[in-house]
Amino acid sequence: MRMSEPDARQTDPDPACFRFSVTYTNIGNAATVGGSVAVNVHWWTGNGYTPAGPGWLNTPIPGQIVPGQTMSKAYRLCVPVAAPAGYYAVASSLGSAIYN
C-alpha cells in the first residue's frame, strides 16, 4: 500500500480534518474482505510538525480487492480534538495494515 499524498498541505477547510488517498495492491492469492490501516497524524504549522500530535487513527481498508488488483481510496479523517490556533492536521505516514 502507498499513501499518495503524504505531504503537509492543508487539504480540508476544517483544520482538525485532512484528506489523503491510499493505493492498495493485492499481491496475495485471495480477495480481501476488509481490514484497517493506521494513519499517523501530526499538527503542522507550515514550518514543521509539532513535537506532539494527535497520534494514530485507524481507518477501514476496502474489501473485495482481488489478487493482482490495484485500488485507490480517498479518505477524509478528523481528529477528535480542536486544532491548536495556527495549526492543522496532516497525515504524516501510514502504519501497519491488517487485512482480512
pLDDT in tens, 24-76: 888 889 998 888 888 888 888 878 777 667 788 898 988 888 999 999 888 99
474489501: which residue's cell? 63
Q: Evaluate whether 91 touches 43 at the Cβ level (below 8 Å).
A: no
**pLDDT for the residue numbered 100:** 64
**pLDDT for the residue numbered 90:** 87
Put residue 15 in one of left, alpha, beta given phi > 0 → left and psi -120 to 50 → alpha: alpha
What's the CATH code of the domain at 57?
A: 2.60.40
**pLDDT for the residue numbered 3:** 54
Give the predicted TM-score (pTM) of the model. 0.78
Segments forming the whole domain that contains residue 91: 2-99
Q: Evaluate whether 20 touches 26 at the Cβ level (below 8 Å).
A: no
If one counts the domains in the chain, the total is 1
Closest CA to 82 of 19, 15, 8, 18: 15
**pLDDT for the residue numbered 17:** 92
